[in-house]
A and B are shown apart, each in its own frame.
Chain A
Amino acid sequence: MKLMGYRRSNGTVGVRNHVLILSSIVCANHVADHISRQVAGTVSVTHQHGCAHVGSDLEQVFRTIVGFAAHPNVYGTVVVGLGCEEVAAEKVAEAAREAGQENVEVVIIQQEGGTLKAIAKGSQIAREMVGKASQVTREEISFEDIIFSTECGGSDACSGISANPALGYCSDKIVDDGGTVILAETTELIGAEHLLADRSVDDKVRQRVFQVINRMEQSILDMGVDLRGAQPSPGNIEGGITTIEEKSLGCVHKGGHRPLQEVIDYAYKPTKKGLVWMDTPGHDIEQLVGMVAGGSQIVAFTTGRGTPTGSPIAPVIKVATNTIMYEKMNDNMDLNAGTIVTGDETIEEVGERLYKEVCEVISGKLTKAEILGHHEFGINRIGPTC
């Protein structure tokens, strides 16, 4: 199937062409939201961060925000700042330009003289950007241009039987087509790490697999708590998942069966084609944001309990693990893998359907999360707020 996308001047490829109104600091959220409401064709990203960070936490927050500003799915970005914050709007814009984002402008509330003037200036810039963005057209692309993300959230006992193996089949096809596939959710790989270690391309990657898992598990042990307070979640347990190991053994299927090329940190761009593992928490939104900030243009998200979440800038395809939830939450579900549970379809058949859906969504078909305007956003913090 022919894939169509937006070729950017830095060599990356977008599957969407958003104009992003990006708050660099919590204090600018209101202005960013107002600009976006004023100008049709824009999307805003707001969050509670941008100040009082230190060290690696500051770097991670900054890297994540820049990852959105310079994302290939984004035609242009208006960065809205306050003027006295650490994650300064100018610094974000500068880093985005360095990463190859040609269209980036800055609005600083303190410089403009307050809320209303900042909204007015930002709206003017955004209007011009939307006009120019509308003139860019899609060209033929290939999976070699695509970083495909996998995620599961609100898992049930069917996740490991139906949707995750089907997603794994689709992941393998994308790797075979020359694409990159991200597997993430470190917490939800505890108990399945030996399977990934065995598929690592070399000893260095193999050691990183154990290192990343040990660090995550040690942080739980250091707190003196049973991980089962949070993993599996109460909904997971109600759905039949008993332990984190069981959840992980079901989760790991979605990355498919190809060799593991590298392990990367949160919100970093993969440097290899093929299957890569990004070290993220199991928290759905923090994980999703980390993968997208790392340059991933499209996400497939399996769910058993049902979850509506999406991304402000990347299409998220929802795959239901069971038919009951698929019918009940049909507003939010793009694809049903529950047919595997009932014996009506095989893993390969659903995997093929999902692959076709991924191709169509890359070329412009909207996902239900996009149509309903799901724009969840959250950054994984690794340090104290000072």
Chain B
Amino acid sequence: MKQRAIVMSEVDNVATALENLEANSRAEVRKGAELKVYTLKEDIPFGHKFATMIIRKGTKIIKYGQVMGAATQDIQEGAHAHVHNIESLRGRGDKQ
């Protein structure tokens, strides 16, 4: 089966869609030696991310094995993870 999404590092909690993924469809993702299958909660456009586990509000989002922001609400496994539920932790003059 062709990989329709990619995880950049084993410790990541999000995957990136390599094509447009439809809600309720399944995406196989290689995570280290394991091959995991996720059922998508909603449409994930090409290049966008979905959660590969339940991510609780306030938890760090990990991609490339590094911190790329934090969840502003609980994100369910297979749900779209983007600006509506993730915030940046850097350059936040609005929070000063």
Using CB atoms and an 8 Å cutoff, list the residues of chain A in contact with chain B: 156-158, 160-161, 190-192, 195, 217, 220-228, 231, 237, 239-240, 242-246, 249-250, 304, 322, 324, 341-343
Contact = CB atoms under 8 A, between A and B. Distances in A.
A242 B96 contact: no
Given A161-B6, A192-B66, A342-B18, A244 B93 contact: no
Contacts of A161: 6, 8, 16
A224 B93 CA distance: 4
Contacts of A222: 93
Contact of A217 (B3, B6, B91): B91
A249 B63 contact: yes
B72 to A, nearest CB: 11
Given A191-B68, A223-B93, A228 B88 contact: yes
26 contacts: A161-B6, A161-B16, A191-B66, A191-B67, A195-B66, A220-B91, A221-B93, A221-B96, A223-B93, A224-B96, A228-B83, A228-B88, A237-B82, A237-B83, A239-B47, A240-B45, A240-B46, A240-B47, A240-B82, A242-B82, A243-B69, A243-B87, A249-B63, A322-B46, A342-B18, A343-B3
Given A249-B64, A342-B18, A343-B3, A226 B90 contact: no
Given A226-B91, A242-B81, A245-B90, 8 more contacts: A160-B64, A190-B90, A191-B90, A240-B49, A242-B61, A243-B89, A244-B91, A245-B69
B94 interface: yes
Contacts of A156: 47
A243 B18 contact: no
Interface in B20-77: 45-49, 61, 63-64, 66-69
A157 B91 contact: no
Closest 8 CB pairs of A and B: A227-B91, A240-B47, A157-B47, A243-B88, A240-B48, A246-B68, A243-B69, A226-B94
A157 B48 contact: yes
Nearest to A187: B91
A303 to B, nearest CB: 13
B91 A190 contact: yes
B63, B66, B88, B96 — most chain A CB neighbours (10 Å): B88
B67 A245 contact: yes
**Which residue among A217, A246, A342 has the maximum number of chain B CB atoms within 10 Å of its CB?**
A246
Contacts of B61: 242-243
A231 B66 CA distance: 18
Contact of B92 (A158, A195, A226): A226
Nearest to A221: B93
A224 B18 contact: no
Max count, chain A CB within 10 A of own CB: residue among B2, B83, B86, B90:
B90
B64 A250 contact: yes
A341 B88 CA distance: 26
B88 A225 contact: no
Given A161-B8, A190-B91, A242 B49 contact: yes
A224 B96 CA distance: 7
Nearest to B16: A157
Contact of A243 (B17, B48, B86): B86
B49 A225 contact: no
A228 B16 CA distance: 21
Contacts of A243: 61, 68-69, 86-90
A244 B6 CA distance: 20
B16 A240 contact: yes
Contacts of A221: 91-93, 96
A246 B6 contact: no
Contacts of A239: 47
Contacts of B91: 190, 217, 220-221, 226-228, 231, 244
Interface centre among A195, A242, A249, by most chain B C-beta atoms within 10 angstroms, is: A242
B83 to A, nearest CB: 6
A289 to B, nearest CB: 24
A245 B90 CA distance: 7
A245, A341, A342, most chain B CB atoms within 10 A: A245
B24 to A, nearest CB: 20
A322 B66 CA distance: 23
